[in-house]
A and B are shown apart, each in its own frame.
Chain A
Amino acid sequence: MKKHVWRKKIVPYIFIAPSVIFFSIFMLYPIGYSFVMSFQTSVGGEMTFNGLENYRRLFNDAIFLKALKNTFIILAVQVPIMLFLALILAVLLHSSLLKWKAMFRVSFFLPAVTSLVAYSIIFSIMLMNDGLMNQLLEWIGIGSIPWLSHPFWAKVSLILAMTWRWVGYNMVIYLAALQNISEDLYEAASIDGASKVRQFFSITIPQLKPVILFTAILSTIGTLQLFDEPYTLTKGGPSDETLTIGMYLYQTGFRYFDFGYASTIAYVIVVLIAILSFIQFKVSGDER
């Protein structure tokens, strides 16, 4: 009996110990430390406390504000488009009559498997001035588009690339969720004469709401941290038009080695994620 108690009391801690130790050293400690650093500045190589100075500087920093704006534009346009496409694809693929389901599923998911750097390189080569996209556009008579060198089109390029990469990923999540919706709901709706489109908006979307919220929050977090794509695809250009907060943080920290200020930027991302997640929770909660 005593052995039993010992087991129940001590064993679980042994099982979680490695995770907790690694997590504390490489996650909790850095999170705390970067919070402290966000109030510090480097004076002659020494970090010294300077109160809210970094935060004040941030909100008067035109480049940061531009990066913030860019990130929000991408967020507001890309995430809804991507999630909607993913939802449509999931519903189409879920259709019971369909053959080769597995093949389609794998094809759509494959982009999500590749490295962000690799796919960004492919896209930047396709989107160059004399690249594939423009040749096709000229061939069908539209003419070429300055994809990577025009402020507007550079953002479009980023959005296109990100959508290509992440639609399949979200689609698989939605597919999983669709399997939990009872067929009875659709049958009842069919009997009542509801069209497929009507069923999609009145049954599928409401039933999937928690999952849609989940993917929306994940995508928001991902977009606020956006780094690899603009770093490779547009290098933040032209003239900082695709600079994201994540990229600005990297530049500040590892090109100018201004660790204090970079930590402040990191904490602004933390706060933004918290606020946006909270809003998304609220919005989806109130409609229930």
Chain B
Amino acid sequence: MKKMSLYVTLTIGALISLFPFYWAFIGATNESGKLFSKQLSFVPGTKLVENVTNLNESIGIGRVLFNSLFVSLTYTIFSLLICTMAAYAFAKFEFKGRDTIFAIFLLSMMIPYHATVIPLFKMMAAFGWLNTYKALILPNLAYPFAIFLMRQNMLAFPNALIEAARIDGAGEWRIFFRVVLPSMKPALAATAIFLFMYQWNSFLWPLIAVSSTDMYTFPVALSSLFGLSRIDYGQVMAGVTLATVPIIIFFLSLQRHFISGMLGSAVK
């Protein structure tokens, strides 16, 4: 009996968690008014193609999707590389200033993003980088939380293996890429998800850094649709669905690593 109520509670919770996604899908496959009609309909309709076509006319999905994907993937790869390198040094070397530098990284997580946005905007304007991919990718490459996450995971890596590789004559880069990183796959996957999600979902900075529509990222384009005086809800929900599906696929394919990566680090 107790077990029964446990399952009922969790199932209701799970349904509440998942329902809005389903509702967006319902909206994406029906005509605009259906979401507000008196006869509630929870069945997918047949208007998906039409809605996506309209959406494409409004914001140019191909372009916007490409922008978001290109920016997020490039960002994830480079950020993962430089953050992991730093994490390795923090975890496995002793050097002057190590603790101070690490502390500064950690403390910066307490600084609201807003405090950097205005100078960043002025900087990008001065470099002529507004409305470029550079403006979207560069600013947060050194992401303190990613450094922290990787460092926590690397602390557990046995020093003896690194020393053994050194005695065998392996260079430092070789040790890093061939000895240390291969055993860090779950942590790398977890950090990659964090970085990708962070960039894919990021809104405030792209809203500021990008003003020409063909440089819009998906969230900015969606928001611009939603701000119009006459809103085509079918179109908007098609957009929401399209913006959500890639990130869900990305998450689901890596989620096992993600959870174990989080178990290994976030709360140590």
Contact = CB atoms under 8 A, between A and B. Distances in A.
Contact of B117 (A12, A106, A115, A253): A253
Please classify the interface of chain A as helix (H, G, I), strand (E, B), loop, or mixed, using the class held by over half of its residues: helix
Given A164-B20, A232-B226, A115 B119 contact: no
B150 to A, nearest CB: 11
Interface in B1-46: 3, 6, 9-10, 13-14, 16-18, 20-21, 23-24, 27, 35-36, 38, 40
B201 A116 contact: yes
A12 B93 contact: yes
B139 A12 contact: no
A23 B142 contact: yes
B13 A89 contact: yes
Contacts of B147: 19
Contact of B35 (A131, A228, A254, A263): A131
Centre residue among B83, B85, B111 by max chain A CB count within 10 A: B111
B204 A250 contact: yes
Interface in A243-288: 246, 249-250, 253-254, 259, 262-263, 265-267, 269-270, 273-274, 277
B265 to A, nearest CB: 9
Contacts of B116: 26-27, 30-31, 34
B88 A221 contact: no
Which of the four size classes fits the interface of chain A? 35 or more
Interface stretch (B47-55, B57-65, B239-247): B239-247
A34 B113 CA distance: 11
A130 B147 CA distance: 47
Nearest to A130: B36
B161 interface: no
30 contacts: A18-B142, A26-B116, A26-B139, A27-B108, A28-B108, A29-B119, A30-B120, A37-B118, A89-B10, A106-B255, A107-B14, A108-B13, A111-B20, A113-B247, A114-B244, A115-B243, A117-B223, A121-B222, A122-B20, A122-B21, A122-B237, A123-B20, A124-B226, A125-B23, A125-B233, A136-B40, A168-B17, A172-B262, A211-B267, A225-B114
Interface of B: 3, 6, 9-10, 13-14, 16-18, 20-21, 23-24, 27, 35-36, 38, 40, 81-83, 85-86, 88-90, 93-95, 98, 101, 104-105, 108-123, 138-142, 144, 147, 166, 172, 176, 197, 200-201, 203-204, 208, 218-219, 222-223, 226, 233, 236-237, 240, 243-244, 247-248, 251-252, 255, 259, 262-263, 266-267
